[in-house]
Amino acid sequence: MSVGLRLLGLCIFLLKNVKTDQIGFEFQPFPVLKNDNLLRAARGEVVDRVPVWVMRQAGRYLPEFQELRKLHDFFTVCRTPELACEVTMQPLRRFDLDASIIFSDILVIPQALGLTVEMHAGVGPVLPQPIVVPEDLKRLTPDGALSRLSYVGDAITMMRHKLEGRVPLIGFTGAPWTLMGYMIEGGGSKTMSKAKAWLNEHPEDSKLFLNLLTDAIVDYLEMQVKAGAQMLQVFESSAEHLSKEQFLEWGVPYLKRIRDELVDRLTKKAIPVVPMTLFAKGAGHSLKEQSELGYDVIGLDWTVDPLEARNLVGPNITLQGNLDPQDMYRDPEELRNLTTEMVHKFGKSRYIANLGHGITPQTPITSMEVLVEAVHKAL
Ligand code: 1CP
């Protein structure tokens, strides 16, 4: 056989045998994935069982998380790959979950852009020097932002090894409008009134701001995929503060750009594109529009009816959600029934079970056990 033919044979062998889940940063091999139900559900393939994971599954409802947080500041945990991996692993030790999500926070991007972000106990994130007027945008430092986030990539790569292929690893980011909101409000807000005032009073600067964030997010997600993230979720948690019209103007175009540019960049670099989830809390009014943005999965909050959502998004999108986190406080029998009912409504195809928002700190551990078991037994 000629050398050319042998080389061709080798290329075909490599293409057939190197699975996408083994390709990571610097193309290092990762352990082979054993439970890929999450990824199969995202792609619309047949699953062995309905996959389930829970937003904020690593967090304050776990006593071992509380213990670790007594010793380390929140952002120290995020920035130290060993600690971030330990916390990411905690819920997997207790529950038969079908996914892990890297421990971090959406506010690491504002930090990398030069803003101080503190995590205050019982309050949440605080940004003591927020963006108040358009002039303040000059304080942001997009150059070099990605290199200041390299610790997230390091944690992802380490976690892929620590998982030993047990379940897929999800990477994530906050969406532009949600991050803009925190950066203007200086933290969480019940109304996002200052950020919404910006949209009206400084529409051109708002666009600049949202585009700057979009660029940083695309870089950040590309880095996460290179580091080994097998799926990505974009959290547009503050969509709930916008009217439908506002969401279509200030959310949707940037969400679309994130998806399109990421796919474009990965494709050009011959890096496999991973499935992506859009979770726009409170944007049940725009499910049809969301389904047209190219995301594989649409996350639903608990205000949305599963059957109506399916009608709106059509058959080719996977739905994720959407039990009310408050239902986790019901007695086990009730929780089991509600979960089973939910799974029956969504069905086994193109569905990922989850809550309709993050699990809350006082949730009993037993509720997680009940939820996970009920999802797996429902169909
Ligand atoms: O002191 C602590 O330990 C703080 C609690 C905590 C935790 C556990 C915060 C503060 N962030 C996190 C981790 C976190 N944040 C994860 C980890 C991965 C996992 O899910 O297990 C994720 C995905 C996030 C994402 C995040 N942070 C969102 C989007 C999801 C959502 O809940 O809507 C938002 C809005 C934030 C901001 C944030 N960080 C922390 C809090 C309390 C908040 C919300 C503040 C508010 O607006 O009320």
CATH number of domain containing 243: 3.20.20.210
Q: Specify whether 69 is catalytic.
A: yes
Q: Specify whether 60 is catalytic.
A: yes
**Ligand 1 atom closest to Cα of 102?**
18
223 is a domain residue: yes
Q: Minimal CA–CA distance to 168: which of 20, 46, 319?
A: 20
Chain segment 184-218, per-residue pLDDT in tens: 999 999 999 999 999 999 999 999 999 999 999 99
Q: Name the pairing type of β-strands 124-126 and 169-174.
A: unpaired
Rg (Cα) of the chain, in Å, rounded? 21
Distance CA 318, CA 295 (A): 9
Comparing 4-18, 114-128, 345-359, the range with the smallest average pLDDT is: 4-18
Distance CA 171, CA 187 (A): 23
28 is a domain residue: no
pLDDT at position 136 over 80: yes
Number of domains in the chain: 1
Quickly list DSSP for 160-201.
Answer: HHHHTTSS-EEEEEE-HHHHHHHHHHTB--SS-HHHHHHHHH
pTM of the model: 0.93
24 is a domain residue: no
What's the domain range around 126? 33-316
Chain segment 229-251, per-residue pLDDT in tens: 999 999 999 999 999 999 999 99
pLDDT at position 11 over 70: no
Distance CA 191, CA 179 (A): 14
Tell me what pLDDT residue 14 has. 46
Distance CA 161, CA 194 (A): 43
Chain segment 42-58, per-residue pLDDT in tens: 999 999 999 999 999 99
17 is a domain residue: no
- What lines the ligand 1 site, CB under 6 Å? 55-60, 69, 74, 101, 103, 105-107, 119, 124-125, 172, 188, 235, 237, 358
Dihedral in degrees, nearest 10, Cα atoms 121, 127, 132, 138 = -170
Structure tokens at 306: 């599963």
Q: Considering only CA atoms, which residue is closest to atom 41 of ligand 1?
A: 124
Q: Which of 21, 36, 98, 105 is catalytic?
A: 105
pLDDT at position 28 over 70: no
Chain segment 83-118, per-residue pLDDT in tens: 999 999 999 999 999 999 999 999 999 999 999 999
343 is a domain residue: no
The beta strand positions in the chain, using DSSP E, are 100-101, 118-120, 124-126, 169-174, 231-236, 276-280, 297-299, 318-323, 351-355
369 is a domain residue: no
Distance CA 271, CA 265 (A): 8
16 is a domain residue: no
